[in-house]
């Protein structure tokens, strides 16, 4: 068991914002399209598609919407070509930021991302400028209601987890990227309630920005997440709202 993690607070804050925005299903729809393009429309033979479907269900996306998106993607791949592009940079206060996008117009997306960084006191950098501070991991957040910590830890490790942490009534299960799908599916078979699951960039260390930078950082994150082309925003900041929740 590692030390206390701020991951759940950061992701829960983001999830609360996303749930209030109409573009959350649009973003997942794009992920479904990419998964179908790469591995076909059958989730039984496409592990990435299974992962996105699980993410969609955790976000309360209706089954009809999920499979309509899959059908649409399998029939219209020639007309829409989404490209995965990752941007890296620094927000105000030296906070490291990674922005994952899916776009059909990389010039538009690059301009929007750069504008957001510039507007809120950040700097968009080159590939690799901050990613060395993060590790790619599977992150599965489980509702801990009624689960004893020691028992759950043994269950998760038996399922193939790399690490387990507890935080504010939930358990965070971390996996190596190559084990993510198998671990998530093993936990699902145990009947556990999965609150969220994704492949994510997890910071090795967190930083606490100065008071003057906090609002700029929050504004940058909000601006990026409101962009339909942006799928995920990862950062290593400890923000006041998160500290208060702990």
Q: Are 95 and 207 in contact (CB under 8 A)?
A: yes
What pLDDT is attached to residue 72?
A: 84
What pLDDT is attached to residue 5?
A: 46
For domain 7-75, give the CATH superfamily: Integrase, N-terminal zinc-binding domain (1.10.10.200)
Q: Are 197 and 51 in contact (CB under 8 A)?
A: yes
pLDDT in tens, 120-146: 999 999 999 999 999 999 999 999 888
Q: Are 101 and 84 in contact (CB under 8 A)?
A: yes
Confidence of residue 241 (pLDDT cuts 50, 70, 90): low
Q: What are phi and psi of 204, to 5 degrees?
A: -75, -35
Q: How far is CA 52 from CA 55, 157, 197, 202, in A?
A: 5, 23, 9, 19
What pLDDT is attached to residue 145?
A: 87
Q: What is the pTM of this model?
A: 0.84
What pLDDT is attached to residue 71?
A: 86
d(CA 236, CA 28): 24
Residue 115 has pLDDT above 90, yes or no: yes
Residue 20 has pLDDT above 60, yes or no: no
**Degrees to nearest 5, angle at CA 227 with 194 and 77:** 80
Q: Which residue's structure tokens are 């950082």?
A: 217
Mean pLDDT of all residues in the chain?
86
- Break the chain into its structural domains and give their ranges: 7-75
What pLDDT is attached to residue 202?
A: 94
Alpha carbon 96 to chain centroid distance? 16
- The beta strands (E) that lie in the chain are given as 83-90, 96-103, 123-124, 134-143, 163-167, 170-175, 194-203, 230-235
Mean pLDDT, residues 137-157 taken together: 91
Q: Are 120 and 221 in contact (CB under 8 A)?
A: no
Q: Are 25 and 68 in contact (CB under 8 A)?
A: no
- The beta strands (E) that lie in 145-185 are given as 163-167, 170-175
pLDDT in tens, 205-227: 999 999 999 999 999 999 999 99
């Amino acid at each position: 068991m590692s030390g206390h993690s701020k991951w759940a607070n950061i992701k829960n804050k983001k999830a609360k914002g996303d749930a209030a925005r109409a573009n959350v299903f649009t973003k997942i729809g794009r992920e479904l399209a990419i998964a179908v393009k790469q591995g076909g429309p059958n989730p039984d033979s496409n592990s990435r598609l299974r992962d996105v479907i699980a993410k969609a269900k955790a976000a309360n996306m209706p089954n009809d919407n999920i499979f309509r998106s899959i059908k649409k993607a399998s029939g219209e791949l020639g007309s829409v070509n989404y490209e995965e592009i990752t941007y890296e940079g620094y927000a105000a206060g030296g906070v490291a930021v990674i922005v994952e996008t899916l776009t059909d117009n990389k010039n538009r997306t690059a301009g929007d991302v750069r504008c957001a960084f510039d507007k809120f006191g950040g700097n968009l950098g080159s590939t690799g400028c901050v990613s060395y501070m993060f590790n790619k991991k599977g992150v599965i957040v489980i509702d801990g209601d009624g689960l004893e910590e020691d028992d759950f830890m043994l269950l998760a490790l038996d399922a193939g987890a790399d690490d387990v942490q507890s935080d504010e009534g939930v358990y965070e299960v971390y996996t190596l990227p190559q084990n993510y799908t198998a671990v998530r599916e093993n936990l699902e078979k145990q009947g556990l309630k999965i609150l969220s699951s994704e492949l994510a960039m997890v910071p090795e260390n967190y930083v606490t920005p100065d008071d003057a930078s906090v609002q700029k950082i929050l504004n940058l994150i909000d601006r990026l997440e409101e962009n339909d082309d942006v799928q995920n925003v990862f950062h290593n900041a400890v923000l006041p709202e998160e500290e208060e929740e702990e």
